[in-house]
Amino acid sequence: MSGDKPGAGAKVVLAYSGGLDTSTILVWLQEQGYQVVAYLANIGQDEDFEAVKEKALKFGALKMVIPDLREEFVTDYIWPAIQGNAMYEDRYLLGTALARPLIAKAMVKVAVEEGAQFVSHGATGKGNDQIRFELGAYALQPDIKVISPWRMPEFFTRFPGRNELFTYAEEKGIPLPVTPKTPWSMDANLMHISYESGVLENPDHHAPDGLYNMTVDPEKAPEEGEVIELEFKKGCAVRVTNVAAAVTKTNPLDVFVYLNELGGKHSIGRVDLVENRSIGMKSRGIYETPGGTILIEAHTDIEIFTMDREMRRIKRDLDLQFGDQVYKGFWFSPECEFTRKCIALSQECVEGVVTMKLYKGRVYILGRRSELSLYNEELVSMNVQGDYEPTDAGGFIKINSLRLKEYARLRKQQQS
């Protein structure tokens, strides 16, 4: 009887991908006495969801839940990230980090609906995702219990390497991967694919040919660029127009998918970096974020175009905090909620149209226009004086030099 076992018949919602690791965990949890509800979030990854479901049920899951979260991912996670120009360590656009809280939220929802007190996942003990998952879960459902097999000695000492997993899988009838595993791991969703570990662990080892999936190699990208217009309202993309191709998209998910398509075609958004994980170790990651890269370039442009300089300086600090919060798994936290609200406040007037050319890996900003810009062509013109007195600048400079002159005076005095 399961009652004698750790699980004792309790229900657990397992984030299940259909792969070897989580299939093993699915079976192992049942061995421990748990009843398992399998769960897989559709966040736009390329997946045969029906096949995963069949697998889950075949290996004993009570049921399999596969919510479609793509629209929510775009409007509630990616859009705020673009508003906040969210980046980690100046370059990573946070594709995985943004998806995790949403996956955790939907998983907790399943747990509540299914009356499960436990959730479980197959994230490793050295990574960021365990943190993002679990902080999200605890924040939304403080009394949830998390089963993290790769951090449990009874699990990880039983499966110290791939061989032990294979043996167990064979015993349990879990099919081994038919295609040979790539010598790196990847995580894919609507926003990006990330690659890490394996041969990439050597930070001087160049990204192997054939690694990328969302973007073509720049050498193979079209010889001619493509011009698009992207329209923003309140800092969110509301319309993309490809005049030459006579394409227009306005629904958020459509806009994002189309930008992904264009970005992929023109090789936009590849990044190779060594980053600092939440747990404090440096790690090499390679990312491709085609649509997100186009969006953040355009948003930065229209934001500077429309927003007051000093306000943006404050907002820039919030952006930096926001990027760190998201990376570290604190999406559902008082500070991140506050930061998101402040950033949203700043976007009231961030509206207008940015024209860009996409060509072989780069987004070239060509121009921008807005009904709400603080840009004043007459004021700035070199040919018209406008409402501007050049003599004022002299006073401005003189007053600004006051401090500097005093400092010079002091230093001369010190030297003498």
The full DSSP string for 35-89 is EEEEE--BSS----HHHHHHHHHHTT-SEEE--B-HHHIIIIIIHHHHHTT--BT
d(CA 55, CA 27): 11
**How many CB atoms neighbour CB 88 within 10 A?**
21
| Residue in 17, 23, 70, 100 annotated catalytic | 100
Least distance (Å) between residue 66 CB and a second copy: 26
Token pair, residue 154, equals 């009874």
CB of 124 to a second copy, least distance (A): 6
Pairing of strands 185-188, 236-242: unpaired
53 vs 368 by CB, closer to a second copy: 368
Q: Provide the mask over 303-342, with x wherever binding to a second copy is found by CB under 8 A and - wherever it is not.
A: -xx-xxxxxxxxxxxx-xx--x----xx-xxxx--xx-xx
Residue with tokens 């038919």: 178
Instruction: Note whether 3 binds a second copy by CB under 8 A.
Output: no
Count of residues making up the chain = 416
Q: What is the bridge-based pairing of β-strands 352-359 and 362-369?
A: antiparallel
Binding-site member from 24, 85, 241, 293 for a second copy (CB under 8 A):
85
What's the min distance (Å) between Cβ of 331 and a second copy?
Answer: 10
Is 223 a binding residue for a second copy by CB under 8 A? The answer is yes
> Which of the stretches 23-31, 39-47, 70-78, 124-132 binds a second copy when contact is defined by CB under 8 A?
124-132
Least distance to a second copy, CB of residue 1, Å: 28
Q: Which residues does 105 contact at the CB level (< 8 Å), separation at least 6? A: 136, 140, 332
Name which position in 142, 209, 210, 416 contacts a second copy (CB under 8 A): 142
The two tokens of residue 384 are 């018209």
One residue of 103, 116, 349, 350 binding a second copy per CB under 8 A: 349
209 part of the active site = no
Query: Of 17, 120, 129, 270, which residue is the catalytic one?
Result: 129
Residues within window 190-209 making contact with a second copy, judged by CB under 8 A: 197-198, 201-207
Considering the complex, what minimum distance in angstroms separates the CB of residue 39 from a second copy?
A: 20
CA dihedral (259, 193, 38, 142) positive or negative: negative
- What are residue 91's phi and psi, to 5 degrees? -145, -30
* Positions in 269-288 near a second copy (CB under 8 A): 270, 272-277, 279-284
Residues 372-411 that bind a second copy (CB under 8 A): 372-377, 379-383, 387-410
- Choose, from 2, 76, 158, 185, the residue flagged as catalytic: 185
Q: What are phi and psi of 152, to 5 degrees?
A: -100, 120
Backbone angles phi, psi at 114, to 5 degrees: -90, 0
- Provide the token pair at 179: 């295609």
Among 21, 187, 301, 324, which one carries the catalytic annotation?
21
Q: Is 364 in the site for a second copy (CB under 8 A)?
A: yes
To the nearest whole angstrom, how small is the minimum distance from the Cβ of residue 269 to a second copy?
11
Does 100 participate in catalysis according to the annotation?
yes
Indicate the residue among 244 and 379 with the shorter CB distance to a second copy: 379
Cβ-based burial of 116 (10 A; exposed 0-12, middle 13-18, buried ≥19):
buried
CB neighbours (10 Å) of residue 227?
A: 16
Identity of residue 149: P
The residues annotated with a catalytic role in the active site are 21, 100, 129, 185
